[in-house]
């Protein structure tokens, strides 16, 4: 996406910076002071997904929100590095470049899978992991190979991103797409998703990620997650059923799973105050628990 075109109307643009860390040019938003919290959005979104949640968390934390490779304003320098493992590895390289280590990693949907992979692979794991409607399940049956194959074929066609962005790029269709996730998003949210879906490079980046997405190793490693984990789900999620987080929570040793009624896949956009309160109370409770056992 063209930063100069969107900068004036993009949420928290004054907190944005760009970092060249091979192979990507990363868009990062940095807000607040205190223990470092990393926010990772899902496939097809960007930092705009955290526009309301980020300031609430930044009242007590330094919060970094990052556009995943090929998404939003992060320019992918290697299409072949859009897999879960590669994204997690490249994200760790970005953090080393900035000179920070997150105390807390928060991920939404596919971003929750990236967050979990990072927590597993970091030499010093975070103090806590938060997954909002985490995408911890492969497609079943035929879709398990058909969907990634379709995405791979689409991503290899240089016209796909342009065609999709043109045909999907009107606000009525974007509103319908968002409603299919079980969430009601405000007018500002629809405008921002419209900008994303209308952008060819963003669509191509999302398709590349879909084409390379594999979760087998992550699912095997869930019992090894090294930190307290909070899984938040919306009861009406039309993209990732709450049962997925329930199953993941059963395999993560220190997991807590909470489901919210009348909320969908974009829970953190629908009700950022409730999500922020739950995250902060979870962190406070775990801090008290660690102090009590010290």
Task: Look at residues 241, 242, 228, 210 and name the one whose alpha carbon lies nearest to residue 287.
Answer: 228
Contact call for residues 88 and 112 (beta carbons, < 8 A): no
b vs e for 77-109, b when ≥16 Cβ sit within 10 Å of the residue's Cβ?
eebebbebebbbebbbebbeebeeebbbbbbbb
The alpha carbon of 285 is separated from its chain's Cα centroid by a whole number of angstroms, namely: 24
Distance (Å, whole) CA 26 – CA 235: 33
pLDDT digits (tens, 9 = 90+) for 68-123: 999 999 999 998 999 999 999 999 999 999 999 999 999 999 999 999 999 999 99
Specify the pLDDT at position 185: 93
pLDDT digits (tens, 9 = 90+) for 242-264: 999 999 999 999 999 999 999 99
Per mean pLDDT, which range of 93-97, 101-105, 184-188, 287-291 is the poorest?
287-291
Beta bridge partners of 227: none
Specify the pLDDT at position 250: 98
Specify the pLDDT at position 139: 58
Q: Is pLDDT at 164 greater than 60 in this prediction?
A: no
Mean of per-residue pLDDT scores for the chain: 90
Q: Is pLDDT at 156 greater than 70 in this prediction?
A: no
- Mean pLDDT of the region 37-57: 98
CA distance from start to end of the chain: 48
**Coil, strand, or helix at residue 171?**
helix
Q: Tokens 């191509």 map to which residue?
A: 204
Per mean pLDDT, which range of 60-69, 173-182, 224-233, 235-244 is the poorest?
173-182
Specify the pLDDT at position 157: 55
- Mean pLDDT of the region 131-154: 67
Helix 171-179 to helix 160-168 angle (10° resolution) is 90
CATH class of 3-139+216-293: alpha beta
The alpha carbon of 178 is separated from its chain's Cα centroid by a whole number of angstroms, namely: 16
**What percent of the chain has a predicted confidence (pLDDT) above 70?**
87
The alpha carbon of 284 is separated from its chain's Cα centroid by a whole number of angstroms, namely: 23
Distance (Å, whole) CA 200 – CA 2: 11
Q: Is pLDDT at 20 greater than 90 in this prediction?
A: yes
**What percent of the chain has a predicted confidence (pLDDT) above 90?**
76
Specify the pLDDT at position 146: 52
Confidence tier at 163 by pLDDT (50, 70, 90)? very low
Most confident option among 158-162, 165-169, 234-238: 234-238
């Amino acid at each position: 996406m063209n930063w100069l075109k969107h900068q004036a109307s993009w949420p928290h643009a004054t907190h944005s910076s760009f970092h060249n860390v091979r192979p990507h040019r990363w868009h990062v938003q940095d807000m607040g002071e205190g223990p470092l919290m990393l926010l990772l959005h899902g496939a097809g979104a960007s930092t705009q997904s955290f526009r309301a949640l980020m300031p609430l968390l930044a009242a007590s934390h330094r919060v970094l929100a990052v556009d995943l490779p090929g998404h939003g304003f992060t320019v992918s320098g290697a299409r072949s590095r859009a897999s879960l493992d590669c994204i997690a590895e490249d994200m760790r390289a970005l953090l080393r470049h900035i000179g920070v280590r997150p105390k807390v990693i928060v991920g939404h949907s596919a971003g929750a899978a990236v967050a979990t992979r990072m927590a597993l692979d970091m030499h010093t794991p975070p103090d806590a992991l938060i997954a909002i409607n985490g995408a911890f399940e492969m497609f079943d049956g035929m879709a398990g190979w058909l969907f990634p194959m379709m995405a791979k074929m689409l991503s290899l066609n240089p016209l796909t991103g342009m065609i999709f962005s043109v045909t999907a790029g009107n606000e009525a269709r974007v509103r319908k797409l968002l409603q299919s996730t079980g969430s009601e998003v405000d007018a500002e949210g629809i405008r921002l998703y419209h900008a994303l879906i209308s952008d060819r490079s963003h669509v191509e980046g999302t398709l590349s990620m879909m084409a390379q997405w594999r979760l087998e190793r992550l699912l095997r490693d869930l019992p090894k997650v090294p930190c307290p984990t909070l899984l938040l789900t919306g009861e009406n999620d039309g993209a990732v059923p709450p049962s997925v987080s329930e199953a993941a929570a059963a395999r993560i040793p220190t997991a807590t799973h909470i489901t919210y009624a009348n909320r969908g896949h974009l829970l953190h956009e629908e009700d950022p105050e409730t999500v922020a309160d739950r995250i902060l109370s979870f962190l406070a409770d775990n801090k008290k628990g660690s102090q009590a056992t010290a």
